Structure 1
């Protein structure tokens, strides 16, 4: 995910670090106010997505790695 502008959304970009998840790079994105870039969990039974309890919001991190996800150079408001 690169160079996105997220407007009027409480969560901007959700990524999954569960076993079997592929690698991803999330960089150069802007927007979202609470949970700009945050780990989410998929529920196979209900088909729903929820913020992972205790997850760190990487919306304003310059450079971070969590599992297979690299997050860098993003901005949240």
Structure 2
């Protein structure tokens, strides 16, 4: 998917929460926040980060743990 929009001002990245997340996809009686499951809100800051100018050149990346997004971005910058 990332190859199709390349050069057209659209970036495609894969952002994973880094664990089981409490969503409507899990049965209510199985998953509750605070029992080893992540809150969906963990996705917010990395999504905002990827939409910012700081990540304008981030494309075709797999980001596997949103809790470590800030460090991932800093590490990426240091490799440039």
Q: TM-score, normalised by structure 2?
A: 0.26
- Judging by fraction of residues, say which structure has more helix: 2
- Judging by fraction of residues, say which structure has more strand: 1
Determine which structure has more spread, i.e. the larger CA radius of gyration. Answer: 2
Q: TM-score, normalised by structure 1?
A: 0.26
Greater relative CO (CA pairs within 8 A, separation 6+): 2
